[in-house]
Amino acid sequence: MEQSFIPSKVAVLGHPKLPDALSESKTIADFISAKGIQSKHGSLNDEKLRKQVHSGEFDLVIAVGGDGTMLRASHLCAPHNIPVLGLNKGRLGFLMQVFEGGWEAMVNQLLEGNGWIEHRMMLSAELSRSGEVLGSWYALNDAVVSRSHILRPIHVEATVDGQYLTRYVCDGLIASTATGSTAYALASGGPILPPELRNILLIPIAPHLSVDRAIVLSEGASVSMRVLSDNTVMSIDGQMPHNLAEDDIVFVRRCPFNAMFLRFGDPGYFYRNLTAHMSQNTFNNLPR
């Protein structure tokens, strides 16, 4: 846990397709400005505001939306060491700090210096074909190699730190962070890791007659996923997939920078909130 953090210039960015998020972004920015802190508001897709984030004009971004908004805000801010405070307008909100109706009290806490910065590991994923790097991406949750539209298993060879691990026959293979362990990895039967861990988690999706257990790699380890079949795609943090060819390699390792989340209270929040989050798809959503 770090020392208290008080921002001097804040960007409040809302989910571009949620009108409530955009209107609330303006309300929050106006509230912060009235407290004597410079602030701007707009859509997370606003190119002018994004350029200002890239140039270091803000020292805090408040993301208004759901977990997907928090992921996109982290992609934007992490390379520039800018912390993100999440205000939940979505359904689950695993990554969020502030829930609907509670932002005013949290902003007051922030301006009193009661916030602290949490660092979370991100992944770097690099796609290579015939020895040529075709692209690289950053992920907060996961990098996934999976089958495409044809409903048959794919074959993926996994190598850890240059050493052969196994060949998977499955619907896909997830390389996840501890943050991502409560996302797709959890839905695929993986364990929940505390967010401060800096390990890569490997989870096969619907494995068929192959290794069917999640594997937690040692801290600092890297993994290569070599595609051994067609009908295969790669997705980073659930974004639009990239088509893969046979013998393509997706190389995943720890990112050189971290996602930074603004938090309030003590670091034990994760365990206190876990049960509440896990019950949201059960009793709360039963038909009435």
**How confident is the model over 187-232, as pLDDT tens digits?**
999 999 999 999 999 999 999 999 999 999 999 999 999 999 999 9
Identify any residues that bridge with 234 across adjacent strands, giving them in sequence order: 145, 242
What is d(CA 216, CA 67) in angstroms, rounded to the nearest whole number? 24
Number of structural domains, the chain?
2
Q: In what order do the strands lie in the sheet with 215-216?
A: 215-216, 201-205, 172-176, 142-147, 232-236, 242-244
Q: What is the pLDDT of residue 287?
A: 40
The overall average pLDDT reported for the chain is: 90
The answer to whether residue 4 is domain-embedded is no
Residue 48 shares a structural domain with residue 109? yes
Whichever domain contains 171, its CATH number is 2.60.200.30
Residue 68 shares a structural domain with residue 130? no
Residue 45 shares a structural domain with residue 134? no
Closest to 177 measured CA to CA, from 87, 258, 83, 57: 258
Q: What is the pLDDT of residue 286?
A: 41
Residue 161 shares a structural domain with residue 83? no
> Which residues form the domain of 54?
9-114+265-285
Split at pLDDT 50, 70, 90, the class of 105 is: confident
The answer to whether residue 202 is domain-embedded is yes
Residue 208 shares a structural domain with residue 86? no
Instruction: Dump pLDDT digits (tens) for 118-155.
Output: 999 999 999 999 999 999 999 999 999 999 999 999 99
Whichever domain contains 102, its CATH number is 3.40.50.10330
Residue 155 shares a structural domain with residue 172? yes
What is d(CA 14, CA 16) in angstroms, rounded to the nearest whole number? 6
Residue 19 shares a structural domain with residue 142? no
Residue 151 shares a structural domain with residue 209? yes
The answer to whether residue 71 is domain-embedded is yes
The answer to whether residue 3 is domain-embedded is no
Residue 130 shares a structural domain with residue 99? no
Choice among 20, 46, 59, 67 that is catalytic: 67
The answer to whether 53 and 76 have CB atoms below 8 angstroms apart is: yes
Active-site annotation holds for 20:
no
Q: What is the pLDDT of residue 186?
A: 94
Inter-CA distances, 176 with 23, 64, 232, Å: 34, 24, 18
Split at pLDDT 50, 70, 90, the class of 176 is: very high
Q: What is the pLDDT of residue 135?
A: 97
| Range from 44-53, 68-77, 98-107, 260-269 carrying the lowest mean pLDDT | 98-107
Residue 87 shares a structural domain with residue 156? no
What is d(CA 137, CA 120) in angstroms, rounded to the nearest whole number? 17
Structure tokens at 38: 């410079």
Q: What is the model's pTM?
A: 0.90
Split at pLDDT 50, 70, 90, the class of 277 is: low
pLDDT, mean of residues 46-63: 96
Inter-CA distances, 272 with 96, 170, 213, Å: 14, 34, 27
- SS3 of 126-173: EEEECCEEEEEEEECCEEEEEECCCCCCEEEEEEECCEEEEEEEECEE
The answer to whether residue 232 is domain-embedded is yes
Residue 142 shares a structural domain with residue 93? no
Residue 152 shares a structural domain with residue 172? yes
The answer to whether 151 and 40 have CB atoms below 8 angstroms apart is: no
The answer to whether residue 2 is domain-embedded is no
The answer to whether residue 244 is domain-embedded is yes
The answer to whether residue 68 is domain-embedded is yes
Closest to 183 measured CA to CA, from 94, 110, 96: 94
Residue 183, pLDDT above cutoff 80 = yes
